[in-house]
């Protein structure tokens, strides 16, 4: 119920706005510009057109479009851009946002509903922005007796850990933030943090339902961590490397590994659903049994951050599936060789990279749709059946495919000099 203040006068309102703009300008002039210069002074700037850039030249060049392109090209190839924008955080967050919207519409269509409809003219496309504004404007309630530092730190740690997984995911050739030799093991190492964060948060909430949910998250990890790790082992045997870019390259020189390791792909898919706490493995946040599981005491932006983290994690695991089994960015060339025909200036556009990004994104969305599908068609499974599935069935299935992979290698079909290696 919105109300005006008692003595509302339009002139005073406009006056206050002018004062606000004045203060913002003063702050920009006195603090913002010196800060920009200090940052530019310490950032190593590239030599452009034969002259080394100084902060002053940099600011003048941003006005001239023909001199701006080299700077943009230089900036795109820095680590900062990789971490903040393209294979890094912004790309993952964008895909996470699209995933949330697709999930809501897709589930609604499966259940003969219409889904979000009112925010935005077309099919409720602005629903996510509305939800974000709502979450920011809501009060954060910390329950009495909660461990306050942990309660505030856990959502931040969740987002940060999800971002750290994304850092290892290559989205196109040479486009990866951290190209390490043990990429796959590093992904597993960081994914091991999530159940611990869930348990810490549930312990910090000082409430019964979160505590039960946190313990269930731990059990889920115990049941599905080993099949998860073993299902990727057959891919490592087939490609002979742990580097994610190397795994994709070995699929480009032969065929996609899903043809040689379909059982592993199935086990990996099932256990990544469990890692993501998605239906049918959403026992840690089973809303019909234990209120909302370990998310019971969350409110406002804390809930928003946890959701953001979990969808970024969804992107990371879908991308990992694509890299391990679906050939990463491999695909036919469809993008035009030249974006602007006849242009002979500084080239930013590269058609092989554009193809790679296109195919990678399409495949990731395909896998994400596959991960959203069980939510519409499957009920939640019981916790003893969960442990039974993990320990008795999935581990055995993963091992069957490991022996198939060994047979392929020693039979001379794959591996160095194999029959199917181009």
Partner 1 sequence: MAGETAADFAPILYMLGFGLVASVPALILSRLVSPRRRYNPVKFLPMECGQMPTGEGRSHFMMQYYAYILMFVVFDVMSIFLYAWGTALFSIPKAATLPIIGFLGIMFAAMGYALFLAGRKGIW
Q: What share of the chain is helix, strand, coil (3-state, %, to 5)?
A: 65, 0, 35
CA 331 – CA 407 distance, rounded (Å): 28
Counting contacts by CB under 8 A, is residue 42 touching partner 1? Answer: no
- Main-chain phi, psi angles of 172, to 5 degrees: -165, 165
Counting contacts by CB under 8 A, is residue 32 touching partner 1? Answer: no
CB nearer partner 1, residue 127 or residue 296: 296
Binding mask 344-383 for partner 1 (x = CB under 8 A): ---------------------------------------x
* 8-state DSSP, 172: B
Q: Which of 37, 74, 81, 152 binds partner 1 (CB under 8 A)?
A: 152
Stretch that binds partner 1, among 27-35, 173-181, 349-357, 366-374 (CB under 8 A): 173-181
Question: 51 - beta bridge partners?
Answer: 48
Q: How far is the CB of 66 from partner 1 (least distance, A)?
A: 32
CB nearer partner 1, residue 182 or residue 358: 182
- What is the footprint of partner 1 within residues 181-200 (CB under 8 A)? 181, 184-186, 188, 190
Counting contacts by CB under 8 A, is residue 88 touching partner 1? Answer: yes
CA angle 347, 168, 199 (to 5 degrees): 145
Counting contacts by CB under 8 A, is residue 40 touching partner 1? Answer: no
CB nearer partner 1, residue 109 or residue 393: 393
Stretch that binds partner 1, among 56-64, 94-102, 155-163, 372-380 (CB under 8 A): 155-163
- What is the footprint of partner 1 within residues 45-64 (CB under 8 A)? none
Distances (CA, A) of 193 to 93, 152, 199, 233, 413: 20, 17, 10, 21, 38
* 8-state DSSP, 255: -
Q: Which of 102, 222, 354, 358 binds partner 1 (CB under 8 A)?
A: 222
CB nearer partner 1, residue 209 or residue 260: 209
- What is the footprint of partner 1 within residues 285-324 (CB under 8 A)? 291, 296-297, 300-302, 304-305, 308
- What is the footprint of partner 1 within residues 111-150 (CB under 8 A)? 135-145
Is residue 354 exposed (0-12), middle (13-18) or buried (19+ Cβ within 10 Å)? middle
Q: How far is the CB of 51 from partner 1 (least distance, A)?
A: 30
Q: Which of 46, 107, 115, 219 binds partner 1 (CB under 8 A)?
A: 219
Is residue 379 exposed (0-12), middle (13-18) or buried (19+ Cβ within 10 Å)? exposed
CB atoms within 10 A of CB 100: 16
* 8-state DSSP, 185: H
Is residue 385 exposed (0-12), middle (13-18) or buried (19+ Cβ within 10 Å)? exposed
Counting contacts by CB under 8 A, is residue 256 touching partner 1? Answer: no
């Amino acid at each position: 119920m919105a109300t005006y203040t008692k003595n509302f006068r339009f002139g005073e309102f406009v006056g206050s706005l002018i004062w606000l703009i004045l203060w913002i300008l003063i702050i920009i002039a006195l603090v913002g510009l010196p800060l920009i210069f200090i940052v530019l002074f310490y950032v190593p700037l590239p030599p452009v057109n034969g002259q080394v850039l100084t902060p002053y030249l940099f600011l003048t060049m941003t006005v001239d479009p023909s001199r701006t392109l080299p700077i943009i090209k230089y900036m795109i190839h820095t680590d900062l851009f990789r971490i903040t924008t393209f294979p890094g955080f912004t790309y993952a967050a964008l895909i996470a946002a699209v995933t949330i919207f697709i999930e809501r519409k897709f589930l609604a269509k499966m259940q003969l509903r219409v889904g979000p409809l009112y925010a935005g003219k077309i099919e409720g496309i602005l629903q996510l922005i509305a939800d974000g504004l709502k979450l920011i404007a809501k009060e954060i309630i910390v329950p009495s007796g909660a461990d306050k530092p942990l309660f505030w730190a856990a959502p931040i740690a969740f987002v940060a850990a999800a971002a750290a997984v994304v850092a290892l995911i290559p989205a196109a050739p040479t486009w990866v933030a951290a190209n390490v030799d043990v990429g796959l093991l590093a992904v597993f190492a960081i994914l091991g943090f999530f159940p611990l964060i869930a348990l810490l948060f549930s312990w910090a909430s000082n409430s019964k339902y979160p505590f039960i949910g946190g313990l269930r998250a731990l059990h889920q990890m115990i049941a599905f961590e080993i099949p998860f790790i073993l299902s990727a082992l057959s891919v490592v045997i087939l490609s002979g490397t742990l580097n994610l870019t190397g795994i994709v390259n070995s699929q480009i020189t032969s065929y996609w590994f899903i043809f040689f390791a379909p059982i592993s792909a199935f086990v990996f898919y099932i256990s990544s659903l469990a890692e993501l706490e998605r239906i049918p493995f959403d026992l840690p946040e089973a809303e019909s049994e234990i209120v909302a599981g370990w998310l019971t005491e969350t409110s406002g932006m804390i809930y928003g951050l946890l959701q953001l983290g979990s969808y970024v994690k969804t992107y990371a695991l879908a991308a990992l599936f694509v890299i391990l089994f679906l050939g990463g960015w491999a695909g036919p060339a469809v993008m035009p060789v030249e974006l602007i025909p006849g242009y002979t200036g500084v080239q930013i556009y590269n058609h092989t990279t554009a193809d790679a990004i296109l195919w990678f994104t399409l495949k990731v969305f395909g896998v994400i749709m596959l991960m959203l599908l069980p939510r519409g068609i499957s009920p939640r499974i019981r916790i003893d059946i969960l442990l039974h599935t993990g320990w008795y069935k999935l581990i055995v299935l993963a091992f069957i495919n490991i022996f198939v992979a060994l047979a392929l290698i020693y039979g001379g079909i794959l591996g160095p000099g194999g029959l199917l290696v181009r």
